[in-house]
Structure 1
Amino acid sequence: MTNFQSLLNLIVDNQDLIDFDHKGIKDLHVISGKLFHEIVSNVKSIKDKSIDKKSFIKKAIRDAFELEEQDLILIKKEQIVIKIIQTISRDETEKRFNGYSEEEIEKLYNEYFDEKTLDRFLEEISYGIFKYLFVRKQVTNDYYEKNVYSIIQNYIARELTDFESEDHNFRKGFAGYIFRINFITVFTHISDQILEAISYRDEYLMNWIKYYNGQVIIKHNKRYAAPAIINPDGQKYNPSALFGTIAVWFKTKEKIETLEKKLNDISKNLDKLKIDNLSPVEYKDELVQERREIEEDIYEANERIKELLDEKRLNNDEEKKYDIDDEIQELRQYMKEDKKEVDEINAQISSIDTISTKRLEEDKSRLEKDIQREEKALKQNYKVYQSIQLALVKALTSKRKPI
């Protein structure tokens, strides 16, 4: 039996383990748990390194369920998601979402993204778009206004790598939905990147952003008003004057990151000095406490010996004296062992480097205070930064208007 036939049989023979119409969503099927791990284990055993294992699994699932090419198979960390796309009607005359049903796309969107995955995806695609437009291409304001939306949608479609083998029209429609739902978030990330670049005096972007001052533009004998950087409260910002305000914000953020890195390094060094999961100071304190308890035992034994010697001196019974001598001998043996243990503890205490620990802990305490101070300053400036950020997002999503 071939590897492929073995995998195909595994899927077909275990359909009772598949969650059909997952969460009541029609034509959304999920393979997870035992069957998922058996599929992964089956494919891992394939020795032919030229075989793409994801494609191998997808081909077996397509054959097992007789799926069409446009149907989606998404192999995730702990599950395989199957979405029957052929049941999603497409109206080729409808431009939004490339003609696909918004309701069906929304269901897939909610299944495909969890909050953490979505946040990471949006940050990555926004940074990629920023680099493409403003680092690699260094586009003009005119080009940006005409093309930014289509560029973002196409970029999102390209980054949907789990959908690489799926229908192009559906990928583009799904990308359009993702963009619409996260429109402000995407432009907020892009505006953050622009403002950060300006805070570092990026010459191209400092000139590029000057366009957003509400100026009158004459093009092809027509007059237009350029967008302006105006926050929701109606406050207008002069693009040329933004540098000083946002530089403080990003310098503070950078300082916090540097301090946190130093704090992390110190914490790692303190961890290396730990003994039995305790800091050297804590470990030494425990040893001192242990020594104190043993010394108390020695003192009590010594006092008992004094009592026994007095008792022996006053006692005329020879048998009783023998018993007293035996107890004294036993106590002295205990004291000898205890004193030896105290010497060992003293040697341990002497070998512990508490000076380095105390110095590192002092440095740690100082850094924590520095971070708190900078975070307080960042918090105080947050409203100003957010105001500029919101104003820039509004400008980035606006176009010149004819006047």
Structure 2
Amino acid sequence: MPVDVEAVFRAEYGRAVAVLVRFLGDIDLAEEAVQDAFTTAVRRWPQTGVPPSPAGWIITTARNGAVDRLRRESVRGARHAEAALLHAAGPPAEEGPVRDERLRLIFTCCHPALAPQARVALTLRLLGGLTTARLARAFLVPEPTMAQRIVRAKAKIRDARIPYRVPRDADLPDRLEGVLAVIYLIFNEGYGGDPALCAEAVRLGRLLAELMPDEPEVTGLLALMLLVRSRRAAREDADGTLVPLPEQDRGRWDRDLVAEGQSLVRACLRRGRPGPYQIQAAIQAVHSDAPTAADTDWRQILRLYDQLMALAPSPVVALNRAVAVAQTQGPARALDLVDALDLGGYHVWHAVRADLLRRLDRVAEARHAYDEALALSRSPAERAFLDRRGRALAADADE
């Protein structure tokens, strides 16, 4: 894919699909129409140049192509095509609190009739254009499992006749948990190497905070994303290798984002209604408070992880908590906790084990754990870091 088309795809795929879903009332047709439009762009733009409004061109081309296809199919007597063509002629205007098309799509896909994991996976597929393979890695499940999950979610929407409409105010709280999970996963995917997705997640987080200012978990998620994003410039070195948080140059952190995130965390604390995103944001705020890595209040971070485990226990949270245990109680105790977790398919688990084993001078085991992490990681920056750590251990062993 030419670089200009690829950049437009990353920035505008989600909005184009959201607009077409609302216009056509059919998820599969909307996806196919947008993908066909990008295929056309790949052929035409190298000769004609990128249009003044690339997003508008994609949406218009997708809409026209879909309508043409529906007309051809309706002539052949396909009832679903006739129904979709009527929908494309112009659905009635709707009233409701959600005005942004992409945020509207998230709320639509987070309908209570869909299973929670299906809501998140489907929205990431539609909004971010993520492949099934990328989604499977994000959810730590096999690729065929993820493919089935997406197909079933689409079928559920079709068979249950779930409407493509703006949720009313009374519907918003029931869908909030799924919406927050979607936005956070979009952010994590973007932070792992796609800045456009990262920026989109923050944009959606800000919109959601405006829409639901009295929901502390919304504020907590926005704070969490801002604090993590503030470190983006320091996260990789000049060679594109991951720089772990303790080794980052804190002078390269975006202090404006840090200040905004910390302010939001303080606002959450004043409300006294803690939730998982607020606690995660508070953990990041503690990191951001420390002028150097050595000044980090790990005991406070461990207390926060204890709260998070009480509210939202998971193996990944337990893994992160073990990192704090290593800083407060030593690597041996932390390794016992890590080894008790069933996360063998998660590259971060192997990377954490490798670091703990290294600190315990169990060099051969540490090198093997780094190799395992390297085999599972898909991030170039992470792979470069893991490879460097493994080579350093090998060099030390040879001396």
Same fold (TM over 0.5): no
Bigger strand fraction? 1
- Give the TM-score normalised by the residue count of structure 2: 0.21
Q: Indicate the structure (1 or 2) with the bigger Cα radius of gyration.
A: 1
